[in-house]
Amino acid sequence: MTTNEHISTQTISYDNTEDGIHKKNELINCMKLIQDGPFRKIINSLYMCPVPQVRELVQIVLPTNINDWQQSKANKLNYSKLLNDLKKICWPTKTKKVYYGTLNSYIKLHFISKELYELSLRYMNIRYKMIMNKSIWAKGTLDIRCDYLPLTQEDYTSVCKFTDGYWQGMEYQFTQEYQNIY
pLDDT in tens, 128-163: 999 999 999 999 999 999 998 788 889 988 898 999
pLDDT at 43 over 80: yes
What pTM did the predictor assign?
0.84
pLDDT at 179 over 90: no
Residue 77, beta-bridge partner list: 144
Name the band, by pLDDT with cuts 50, 70 and 90, for residue 9: very low
pLDDT at 124 over 90: yes
3-state helix, strand, coil in the chain (%, to 5): 65, 5, 25
Is residue 60 in some structural domain? yes
Tell me, what's the pLDDT at 73?
Answer: 56
Is residue 103 in some structural domain? yes
The CA distances from residue 82 to 76, 77, 88, 89, 123, in Å, are 11, 8, 10, 11, 19
DSSP assignment letter at 143:
E
Q: Which of 83, 76, 105 is nearest to 149 (CA)?
A: 83
Is residue 46 in some structural domain? yes
Burial class of residue 102 in the structure, from the number of CB atoms within 10 Å of its CB (0-12 exposed, 13-18 middle, 19+ buried): buried
Is residue 4 in some structural domain? no
Is residue 134 in some structural domain? yes
In terms of pLDDT, which residue wins out, 94 or 173? 94
Is residue 26 in some structural domain? yes
Q: What percent of the chain lies above the pLDDT cut of 90?
A: 45
Is residue 173 in some structural domain? yes
Is residue 125 in some structural domain? yes
Tell me, what's the pLDDT at 8?
Answer: 47
DSSP assignment letter at 39:
I
**Total domain count for the chain?**
1
Domain range for 128: 15-179
Instruction: State the average pLDDT over residues 6-28.
Output: 82
DSSP assignment letter at 172:
G
Q: What percent of the chain lies above the pLDDT cut of 70?
A: 88
For the chain, the average pLDDT equals: 86
